[in-house]
Structure 1
Amino acid sequence: MTDKTMKAIWNNNLDLEDTAVPAPGPDEVLVKVTAAGVNRADVMQREGNYPPPPGVTDIIGMELSGVITELGGDVARQGRWAPGDEVAAIISGGGYAEYAVVPVGQLMPIPAGMTLLEAAALPETAATVWSNLVMEAGLTAGQTVLIHGGGSGIGTHAIQVAKAIGATVIVTVGSEGKAQRARELGADRVINYREQDFAEELENSVDVVLDIIAAKYLPGNVRVLAPGGTLVIIGMMRGTHGDLDIGALINKRARVIGTNVRRRPLTGPGSKATITDEVVKNVWPLVEDGTVKPVISATLPLAEARAAHEMLDSADSVGKVLLRP
C-alpha cells in the first residue's frame, strides 16, 4: 500500500508523491488523515527556512484530524486508544498525507459536536494559543492582550480564548474584512497596521503581547508593554534580528519569551503531552459549549497545497485553511 504525500522541495514547489505508508513505533499510532491544517510554519519549511527536528519526516504538516487505523505495541497495551477512534493531533511533520504517525501523547479526542473536518482547524492553534497566552504568559481576567495577525488562524482562535478568560482584547490586522471578522469574534479594539502605529496608540498599556511578526515589531512591542508585561514571540514573519531596548525592558520589569510547540519534548514538564492535556481540559469545553468556534477560511484538496499556502497572505482569507487528501 502506498501513501500519497505532499513533499516540500527546496525550490519552493510542492510535489505530490507516492511513498510507503509509515509504520507506527511502540508509542505511536497510525492515523488515516481526514484533513490537515495549513500553518505559517509550513510555508517557512517549504522555503527551506524552518527544517523539521532531527529524525522527523520532511513531509510538511503539523496538525491533523482523522481516524486511528493501527496502534503501536505500547499504545495497545495501555488500552486508552483503539482503531476506529476519531482524533485530532499536533505533530512535528507528516500531516500533508493520507496517513500519518502520531506520538500517543499528542493525540486528542474530537470535541463533542465537532465534525472531523472542523476539528482539523483546532490542534495547532489551540496548543499554540493556550500554551503561550496562559501557560507561558499567565493571561488572566482583567488584563489586556495585544494579538498581532488578528485574522489568522492563530489570531481568530486567540481572540475567542482571551475573551473567554475575561481579558480585554486588542488586535492588529491589515484589511477591513479581517477587522470586521475580529470584531465579530469579540475583539474590543482593532488597529489596522497600514493606517495606525500600534505602538503609539497603545504605549505602556498592554499586559501580554502575542506576536507572529518578530524583528520588525520588537521595538513597538516593548513600547506597548505595561509594567510587568510579557511579550511572547511565536513567529518570524518579518525577520529574526531586531533592536531591543534593554533599558525599557528593565524599567518595566517586563519579559520577552521566544517559544514554539514543534520543538518541545514529547513528554515531561512543558512538553507536547502536557500541552495537549491542558488543551483537552481547558479549551475543549469552550469548543463544546460554543464559546470558541473553529474559523475556517477554505478547504482545498491536497494537490492544491501551494494555493493553500498563498491564501495565508490573502486579505480575503480569515482563519484556517485546510487540506484534504
Structure 2
Amino acid sequence: MAALNHTGVSHTVFHLLGFPSLEEQHVWISIPFFISYVIALLGNSLLIFIILTKRSLHEPMYLFLCMLAGADLVLSTCTVPQALAIFWFHAGEISLNRCISQVFFLSSTFMSESGILLVMAFDHYIAICYLLRYTTILTHKLIGKIGVTIFLRSYGTIFPIIFLLKRLSFCKSNILPNTACKHIVLAHISCDDTQVNIWYGVFVLMSTLVIDVVLNFISYVLILRAVFHIPSRDARHKALNICGSHVCVIILFYAAGIFSVLTQRFEHHISPHIHVLLASVYILAPPMLTPSFTGSRPNKSGTR
C-alpha cells in the first residue's frame, strides 16, 4: 500500500486512509458513522415512501422534503459504505475512474441539497406570509420546474470537473488522507498545473453555494420580520417552530462545508484528521435531521 513516487508515473489506483494517524481507532470511529447511516437510510426511505403513497401529502412542503430526502440518500450512500469498508476491512483501494465518479456525485448532490434548502426557505416564507395563496403560488407545475432547475444547475456546474480531473496525471502519491475522494485532494497530488481546477472550484463555490447562503439569509430575515408582525402569540410561536429545524440544518450544513473548504486551503496548519472530521459532519448530520422537517403549517391567524 505504499505510495509510488516515480516521476512520470500516473496512478490509476488510489488508497483512502480514512482518518490519518487514527487508524487504530477506526473501529470506534465507525460506530457513529454506522448509526448515522442507518438512521439516515431508514428515516429518509420511510419519509419518501410515506410522501409518495399518501396523496394528502402531495403539497409543496412535502414534495420539497421528498427531494431533500432523496438527495440525502445519495449523499450518504456514495460515501458512508466506503468509509465503513475502510474502518472495518481496511478496504481503501479505489480506481481513478471510480474516484472521479465519486467526486462528481458527492459535489453535485451537495449542491443539490443547497438548492433544495434554499427553495424550502422560500416555501416557509410563502407559507407564513401568504398562506391563503400558498397553493396558487407553488403549483405542481412550478415545483416540477424548480426540481429540474436544481438538477440542471447542480450536475451541469459540476460536470466540467470530470474533464478537469481527467486531464491531470497523478505522479506525486496514490495515498488519499480521507474517507472519500475530493476534487481538491486529487488536485493536490497531481504533478500538473492545477490552477484551472482551483479557479473553477472557486467559481463554483461563489456562483452557487455563496449565493445560496446569502439568499437563505435574506429569506429568513424576511421571515422573522413577518413572524414578529403576527398579532397572535401562539401563531407566532408555531411559525418559529416551523423554521427552527430548517435553520439548524442550514447552519450545520453550510458551516461544516465552509470550514471543510477553509481547512483544505490552510491544510499545513491543521491536523489531517480535522479535515476528515469536518467533511464527515456535512455528510452524516443533515441526512439524519431531514425527517425532523415534518410539521404542520400555521393556521390562518398566522398570516399577515
Q: Which has the higher contact order (CA 8 A, sep 6+)?
A: 2
Calculate the TM-score normalised by the size of structure 2: 0.27
Q: Which has the higher strand share?
A: 1
Greater per-residue helix proportion: 2
TM-score (ref. length: structure 1): 0.25
Query: Which has the larger Rg?
Result: 2
